Amino acid sequence: MPHLLARIGRQSPAVLLLVALLLLAGIGWIDVVTPLAVEPLYLLPISLATWAGGRGGGLVWAGGSAAFLILADFTSRGYATPLLPLWNTLINFSMFLCFSLVLSWARTLTRERLQQEQDRAALLARTDALKTELLQAVSHDVRTPLAAIKTSITILLDTEGHWSSTSQRTLLEGINEQCNRLTRLVGQLLDISRIDGGMLQLERDWYALDEIVPRVIAQLGSVLAAHPVQTACAPDLPLIWLDFTRIEQVLTNLLENAAKYTPAGTPIAVTAHVAEEWIWVCVQDGGPGIPAADRAGLFAPFAARRVPGRPLGTGLGLSIVRGIVVAHGGQITAAPPPDGGWVVQFTLPLGRPGAGPSAARRLQASPGAADGPARSSLPQPQPES
Amino acid sequence: MSGVTILVIEDDPAVSQAVAIGLAGYGFTPQVAATGAEGYRQAVGVPAPAVVLLDLGLPDEDGLALCIRIRAASAVPIIILTARGAEHEKVSALESGADDYVTKPFGLRELLARVRVALRHNVARAGPPPPMIRIGELWISLDHRQVARAGTPVHLTPTEFALLAALVHNAGRVCTHRMLLQTIRGAGYGADTALLRVYIAQLRAKLEPHAATPRYIQTEPGVGYRLTGWDEG
């Protein structure tokens, strides 16, 4: 039966209306020339008309069908009582109502199922695309450091050429740097696959953001050496329910990017303030901004920007940053601010999910309360590789 | 080799640095360019480099397009450095005027061997070909169309000889399938690699001490063949 209905449903509206018209004519003829009680059969053309013409079509058909029925009753049998035609009309319109309800319910169901199938197909396609990109990225990003390592090692093993100890030292330092690059890449690939698979585990606790920011800046030391960094955290920042290492990773990455893509001497500003139920963190630089062509898909994996004379990044950094922020329940955006440069800002929710939005405020009001977090609960610094 | 300038067009500083140090250790003078524009300027500039090492994945320009541009302006040997390992890319580079390629990651010896072959061909282009060529235990006279293996004359059919001559002319360098097929059958036979494999097998059977583990005619998978053993002679 559902199969038959589906087949009928696939017909064009014109065919359905034609069938409905023929049915109406046939039933009308039987109704008028025979003494058979075929009034209920009028309901079939109504269902077909509703199917083909939607609610408007069904309503018009139900009215027309009722009028036809009354006319048939009067002409063939000469009923003078108004009750029966009224009853027939009522039946006609009720049938239309019932059928149109059933139909819209069925259509919603079908649409939902179609949507689900499309979603699943889109997810598969995305996973597939990610896999291909991953393979391409791996083949490029792994081979390039490997090429440098291999060439360097074959030089160091060579006994016929002549190299100064300075050159050999440079080669060894290069090998060390390329090993770090590969280690970083493996970590990033693991992160991105965890984020993409929704497997990112956050170790959250209450932390003060205005303690994380100076820490990250201190750790970045040489990277930020050429850039004056200003920090402006609002004095009344509440504690945030976050994963310390991951948010540190977010800030490290944003600051590294700001330093990497702007000329030396460009100032970088980190600000944090509270607005409504969110804490807003902005990393702004006074650099040349990002070319419009590179802005789309800025947060997509493998969207690395090429900077001549610099090894091409994996393009995983911002994608991981977004994954971490989203896992915290926040959002991240990037845009050129009106006063030039580039700004990336992300939000983190105040309070703890499930504990109500006012939890953080309460905690802030009484930081020494028995159930409140201690502001000094920073973890020990992780050894940097 | 002292003072011979080699231009390295490579955007990754780690790779170009290692290559430059490696070449310098053998007395070459390396020059590094990190972009296509800079590379082109140095490749066709004065003094001209003796060999160009060109990375195909450059930030500002398609490596193949740059290869064509350099070839249009200069006869300098171009050796492609490719990290992608895609054979069709190597073939298009070779057909766009590149002389040879090295697949990343490569060792210093491999790179030096390619550079030396390229330099030798650059010198050989100027003078007449030598009357007798010795490769390992093979003696080949292109003028008299005679080949001897370990002192014993070897009879080659005209097609086999044409194929061998093409390989000898490019000794040490890779020859693409299309290039070899056009030598033996003329233009239009560029796609029939099965035919080429048959002739190569015949040639190996006559010239190689062990046809299964060829010493002279090496297969470059997906690209073509290379005659090696020159340096041993």
Give the gap in angstroms from C-alpha A264 to the nearest C-alpha of chain B.
19
Higher pLDDT among residues A307 and A271, named by residue: A271
Contact B25 A162 (CB under 8 A): yes
Q: Using H for helix, E for strand and C for coil, what is the string for chain A? A: CHHHHHHHHCCCHHHHHHHHHHHHHHHHHHHHHCCCCCHHHHHHHHHHHHHHHHHHHHHHHHHHHHHHHHHHHHHHHCCCCCHHHHHHHHHHHHHHHHHHHHHHHHHHHHHHHHHHHHHHHHHHHHHHHHHHHHHHHHHHHHHHHHHHHHHHHHHHHCCCCCCCHHHHHHHHHHHHHHHHHHHHHHHHHHHHHHHHCCCCCCCEEEECHHHHHHHHHHHHHHHHCCCCEEEEECCCCCCEEEEHHHHHHHHHHHHHHHHHCCCCCCCEEEEEEEECCEEEEEEEECCCCCCHHHHCCCCCCCCCCCCCCCCCCCCCHHHHHHHHHHHCCCCEEEECCCCCCEEEEEEEECCCCCCCCCHHHHHHHCCCCCCCCCCCCCCCCCCCC
Contact B83 A307 (CB under 8 A): no
Specify the pLDDT at position A288: 79
pLDDT tens for each residue of A229-248: 888 888 888 889 899 989 99
Give the gap in angstroms from C-alpha B196 to the nearest C-alpha of chain A.
31
Q: How confident is the model at residue A81 (pLDDT cuts 50, 70, 90)?
A: low
What sign has the CA pseudo-torsion B79, B84, B90, B93?
negative
Specify the pLDDT at position B28: 94
Chain A contact for B24 (CB, 8 A cutoff): yes
Specify the pLDDT at position B47: 86
Chain A contact for B37 (CB, 8 A cutoff): no
Q: Which tokens go with B211?
A: 């046809």
Higher pLDDT among residues A272 and A198, named by residue: A272
Specify the pLDDT at position A368: 39
pLDDT tens for each residue of A250-282: 999 899 888 888 888 888 999 998 888 899 999
Specify the pLDDT at position A379: 41
Of A299, A288, A301, A297, the closest CA to residue A254 belongs to: A299
Give the gap in angstroms from C-alpha B17 to the nearest C-alpha of chain A.
8
Contact A171 B21 (CB under 8 A): yes
Q: Which tokens go with A244?
A: 């310390």
Return the amino acid letter for A320. I
Of A312, A210, A180, A227, the closest CA to residue B59 belongs to: A312
3-state SS, residue B158: helix
Give the nearest partner residue to B13 out of A171, A306, A311, using CB atoms.
A311
| Contacts with B210 (C-beta within 8 Å, 6 or more apart), sequence order | none
Q: Tokens 């310390």 appear where?
A: A244
Give the gap in angstroms from C-alpha B33 to the nearest C-alpha of chain A.
9
Contact B12 A312 (CB under 8 A): yes
Average pLDDT of the segment spanning A327-349: 88
Q: Which helix (H) or strand (E) holds B103?
A: strand B100-103
Specify the pLDDT at position A295: 74
Specify the pLDDT at position A366: 41
Specify the pLDDT at position A375: 41
Contact A155 B22 (CB under 8 A): yes
Alpha carbon B218 to chain centroid distance? 12
Look up the pTM and report it: 0.62
Average pLDDT of the segment spanning A283-287: 86
Q: Which residue of A135, A139, A142, A144 is the best one to mutate when testing the B interface, meaning the one whose CB has the most B CBs within 10 A? A: A144
Give the nearest partner residue to B21 out of A149, A170, A308, using CB atoms.
A170
Q: How confident is the model at residue A139 (pLDDT cuts 50, 70, 90)?
A: confident
Specify the pLDDT at position A385: 38
Chain B residues whose beta carbon lies within 8 Å of the beta carbon of residue A161: 22, 25-26, 108
B-contacting residues of A 301-320, CB under 8 Å? 306-312
**Range with the lowest mean pLDDT among A90-99, A216-225, B8-17, B166-175?**
A90-99
Residue B52, pLDDT > 90, answer yes
Higher pLDDT among residues A379 and A187, named by residue: A187
Could you tell me if B100 and B117 are in contact, meaning their C-beta atoms sit under 8 angstroms apart?
Answer: yes
Contact B109 A178 (CB under 8 A): no
Q: Which tokens go with A22?
A: 């023929």
Distance CA B95, CA A39 (A): 83
Higher pLDDT among residues A297 and A347, named by residue: A347
**Range with the lowest mean pLDDT among A99-113, A197-211, A287-301, B77-91?**
A287-301
Contact B19 A171 (CB under 8 A): no
Higher pLDDT among residues A4 and A65, named by residue: A65
Of A246, A260, A247, the closest CA to residue A313 belongs to: A260
Cα–Cα distance list, B115 to B11, B51, B80, B190, B221 (Å): 20, 7, 11, 28, 21
> Which residue of chain A comes nearest to B104, CA vs CA?
A147
Contact B13 A143 (CB under 8 A): no
Chain A contact for B18 (CB, 8 A cutoff): yes
Could you tell me if A358 and A379 are in contact, meaning their C-beta atoms sit under 8 angstroms apart?
Answer: no
Share of chain B above pLDDT 90, in %: 34
Chain B contact for A182 (CB, 8 A cutoff): no
Contact B14 A148 (CB under 8 A): yes
Of B131, B147, B152, B127, the closest CA to residue B227 belongs to: B147
Chain A contact for B57 (CB, 8 A cutoff): yes
Q: Which tokens go with B131?
A: 């009357």
Higher pLDDT among residues B172 and A358, named by residue: B172
pLDDT tens for each residue of B92-124: 889 888 999 998 889 999 999 999 999 888 776
Nearest 5°: CA angle at A18, between A17 and A23? 95
Specify the pLDDT at position A346: 93
Average pLDDT of the segment spanning B131-143: 83
pLDDT tens for each residue of A5-40: 666 666 677 887 788 788 878 877 777 777 777 766
